[in-house]
Amino acid sequence: MLENAWLAWMILGSPLIAFVVVGLVGRRLPEGGAHVVVGSLAASLVIAVYFLVQVLQQGAIGNSTATTVPGFTWIPGDPATGEGAIGMNLLIDNLSAFLLVLVSFLSLLIAIFSIGYMHEEAGKPRYYAEIALFVAGMLGTVSADNFLQLLIFWEIMGLCSYLLIGFWYHKPEAASAAKKAFLVTRVGDVLFLAGILVIWNVFHSFRFEEIVQKIPVLWGGAYTPQLALLIPLFLFGGAVGKSAQFPLHAWLPDAMEGPTTVSALIHAATMVKAGVYLTARSFIFLVPIATGGGILVQAVPWNAILVIAGIGAFTAVFAGSMALANYDIKRVLAFSTISQLAYMFLGLGAGAYLMASEAAHGSTEVATAGYSAALFHLTNHAFFKALLFLAAGSVIHAVHTNDMRAMGGLGKLMPWTSKTMLMGALALSGIIPFSGFFSKDDILAVTFETGASNPLFYLMWVAGIGTAFMTAFYTFRMWLMTFHGEFRGHGHPHESPRVMTSVLIVLSVFTIASGAIAFLTNGFGNLIFYEEPHAALPLITPLLEANVVELALTGLSLALALAGVGLAWAVYGKRVISPSTFTKTPTRAFLHSMLVNRYWIDDWYNAFGSRTVAGFARAVDWFDRNVVDGIVNALGRGGVVVGALSDLFDRKVIDGAVNSISLETIRSSLALRTRQTGQVQNYTWVIVLGIVAILVLAVLLGILPRILGRP
- In 3D space, the residue among 259, 265, 281 whose CA is nearest the CA of residue 178 turns out to be 259
Q: Which helix (H) or strand (E) holds 68?
A: strand 66-75
- The smaller minimum CB distance to another protein, of residues 365 and 621, is found at 621
Distances (CA, A) of 352 to 298, 369, 510: 14, 9, 29
Which residues are within 8 A (CB) of 54 and not within 5 positions of it... i.e. 6 or more apart? Answer: 2, 3
166 part of the interface to another protein, by CB under 8 A:
yes
Cα separation of the two ends of the chain: 132
Instruction: Please report whether residue 587 would count as binding another protein according to CB under 8 A.
Output: no
Q: Does 681 engage in binding with another protein (CB under 8 A)?
A: yes
Q: How far is the CB of 125 from another protein (least distance, A)?
A: 12
Region from 102-110, 178-186, 295-303, 355-363 binding another protein, contact rule CB under 8 A = 178-186
Measured at the alpha carbon of residue 186, what is the angle toward residues 180 and 188, in degrees to the nearest 5? 115
How many Cβ atoms are within 10 Å of 209's Cβ, its own excluded?
Answer: 16
Binding part of the chain for another protein, among 109-117, 382-390, 457-465, 670-678 by CB under 8 A, reads 670-678
Using DSSP, state whether 93 is helix, strand or coil.
strand
Under a CB-based contact definition with an 8 Å cutoff, are residues 157 and 275 in contact? no
**141 vs 270 by CB, closer to another protein:** 141
67-106: which residues touch another protein (CB under 8 A)?
73-76, 84
SS (H, E, C) 95-141: HHHHHHHHHHHHHHHHHHHHHHHCCCCCCHHHHHHHHHHHHHHHHHH
Q: Which of 224, 198, 203 is nearest to 213 (CA)?
A: 203
What minimum distance in Å lies between the beta carbon of 197 and another protein?
5
Stretch (H or E) spanning 88: strand 86-93
CB 283 within 8 A of CB 352: yes
- Asked if 178 interacts with another protein (CB under 8 A), we say yes
The amino acid sitting at 627 is V
676 near another protein (CB under 8 A): yes
Which of 193, 287, 387, 404 binds another protein (CB under 8 A)? It is 193
Out of 53, 552, 556, 613, which residue is the one contacting another protein (CB under 8 A)? 613
670 binds another protein (CB under 8 A): no
Q: How many residues would you count in the chain?
A: 711
Q: What is the dihedral of CA 121, 125, 128, 132, to 10 degrees?
A: -170
Q: Binding residue for another protein (CB under 8 A) from 222, 570, 614, 644?
A: 614
580 touches another protein (CB under 8 A)? no
* Residue (of 348, 327, 337) closest to 265 by Cα position: 337
Closest by Cα among 262, 269, 272, 276 to 106: 269
The interface region with another protein, picked from 195-203, 263-271, 466-474, 703-711 by CB under 8 A, is: 195-203
Q: Which is nearer to another protein, 87 or 312 (CB)?
A: 87
Question: Does position 692 bind another protein by CB under 8 A?
Answer: no
Query: Per CB under 8 A, which of residues 617..656 are in contact with another protein?
Result: 617-618, 620-621, 624, 628-629, 631-632, 636
With contacts defined by CB under 8 A, name the span among 167-175, 297-305, 420-428, 461-469 that binds another protein.
167-175
Q: How many CB atoms lie within 10 A of CB 399?
A: 24
Q: Binding string, 133-152, against another protein, x = CB under 8 A?
A: ---------------x--xx
Find the shortest distance in angstroms from Cβ 206 to another protein.
Answer: 10
For residue 17, state whether it binds another protein (rule: CB under 8 A). no
Q: Which of 39, 71, 200, 499 binds another protein (CB under 8 A)?
A: 200
Per CB under 8 A, residues contacting another protein are 73-76, 84, 148, 151-153, 155-156, 159, 162, 166, 169-170, 172, 174-176, 178-179, 182-183, 186-187, 190, 193-194, 197-198, 200-201, 613-614, 616-618, 620-621, 624, 628-629, 631-632, 636, 673, 676-681, 684-685, 688
